[in-house]
Amino acid sequence: MNNKFDIIVIGAGVIGCNIARELSQYKLNVLVIEKDNDVCARASMANSAIVHSGYDPVPGTFKARFNVEGNRMFYDLCKRLDVECYQIGSLTIAMDDEQMKVLKDLEKRAAENKVPVKILDHDELLKEEPNVNPKAVGALLAPTAGIVDPFTFCAHNIENALDNGVKLHLNEEVKEIKDLKDHFEIKTNLGIYQSTIVINAAGHGSYKLGSQLEKLDYQITPRKGEYFVFDHYAKGLVNHTIFPLPSAKGKGILVTPTYSANYLIGPSSELSESEDHSTDPATLAMVKAGALEMVPSLPFNELIRVFAGVRATPSDHDFHIAPLKTHPKFIHLCGIESPGFVSSPAIAKYVVNELVSPLIKLEKKENYITHVRPKIETRKMSAEEKIKLIKEHPEYGEIICQCEKISKGEILDAMSRSDHPHTIKAIKKRCRAGFGKCQGGFCQPLVAKLISEYYHIPLTSVQYSKIGSNVVRYPTKGAKHD
């Protein structure tokens, strides 16, 4: 096995996947190392999935620069990568005259960041959003904001990279990094690698890895956010992403439609001592109260799940993206919290064009593949289109997930792609099988069976998510098993 690479990217969250895609257009030997069982497994999976406009970050910061640049790139990139992404705009609500003064300040900041916005009065706001609290006196409209499918965005970024020759190692955790001057030696739980350049995009683990080589002059603290998810409730509950005024803790508790016609409520924003993904009643009650203040008619009887995400908050409140001072070929990315998701394409372009290019020759590939294979999604097709498809490919007529109307054909298509999802959760993120009202209660055994059959592994080896999360421990009496 070849253990020598031009560039090793550590981490396959949204930043690492975008960097891998950006690097894949060049004649380079690139490896991505990810400690989890799939890409998009942590902060990139559990977030608000908002394409932020960029009016809020402090002008002149990396946050402001890459948020605005990323927003301008995002919608075209999603078209190229076949990712659902909708420019629905956002509204930041003011509940009294004092808050309207703050909106005026945000309007000025938006102008500095070159982000188009418009202040709406009470009547204009209620015309746009009839279900917003009628006590609201106005709002700041940011029309370039949007919503995205975060799971497919990460998966199709890495798929495009793999289709262009990048290698991906999952379930492999970097333990030690040594700078041997002419190359880096990277020791993982599975082996030792050499690389001319290392790009550290390990999310919460980035600070620890960077600190092995150099003392860092800032701190990283986990900040947890808890969310509610509503079922496919009636369209038009809210039409934009609804924000309160931002605070020192972040952008606040939002109410937004999602790309899948669900509704998302949250997050909280509490400092945590670890990467803790648990939820608790008191915090969720606070999130609920804050959301109801903005949209009093929220139907919490339509709740189908709660979850928590954790973001790495830097003590100086800006992204860190630079080579280490004493190790110029170690490109260190750290503290990329919100709006990191929308910033990711711009960050990737900056890393490759500005930081990597002075270190290694970048020669474009003649046969670079610019798009991924489009997904076939039967729930979006007309009756005539479905009939034609099923006649040619009967597997698209066998529904596996009744809640989300996901067919066997769609799951087989996901497993046939270059990033090869091997777990139930990985299939869930790519196809939405298990995202519905029953949360996998009915379809999970069918998905497990498909994974077993497709990869020719025993059903007892199929995992829900991480290693050790086997869904079937023992075969039942009389069952066929290997």
Place of tokens 């903005």: 294
Residues 14 and 48: beta-carbon distance below 8 Å: no
Q: What gap in Å lies between CA 443 and CA 441, rounded to an integer?
A: 6
For residue 320, indicate whether it is catalytic. Answer: no
Q: Could you give the angle at which helices 340-350 and 62-80 cross, rounded to 10 degrees?
A: 90
The H or E element that residue 124 is part of is helix 122-128
Residues 98 and 374: beta-carbon distance below 8 Å: no
* Active-site residue (options: 52, 156, 204, 320): 52
CA dihedral 452, 457, 458, 461 (to 10 degrees): -90
Q: What gap in Å lies between CA 63 and CA 336, rounded to an integer?
A: 8
CA dihedral 405, 12, 2, 457 (to 10 degrees): -30
Residues 340 and 15: beta-carbon distance below 8 Å: yes
What are the structure tokens assigned to 25, written together?
């257009």
What are the structure tokens assigned to 391, written together?
């006649």
Q: What gap in Å lies between CA 26 and CA 368, rounded to an integer?
A: 8
Place of tokens 């020598």: 4
Residues 422 and 454: beta-carbon distance below 8 Å: no
DSSP string, 377-434: -GGGS-HHHHHHHHHH-GGGGSEEETTTTEEHHHHHHHHTSTT---SHHHHHHHH-TT
Q: What gap in Å lies between CA 146 and CA 144, rounded to an integer?
A: 7
DSSP string, 327-338: EEEEEEEE---T
Of residues 261, 299, 280, the one with CA closest to residue 405: 261
Query: How many CA within 13 A on the CB side of residue 178?
Result: 7
- Pairing verdict, β 192-200 and 184-188: antiparallel
Place of tokens 């793999």: 162
Of residues 243, 245, 228, 240, the one with CA closest to residue 298: 228
- The residues annotated with a catalytic role in the active site are 52
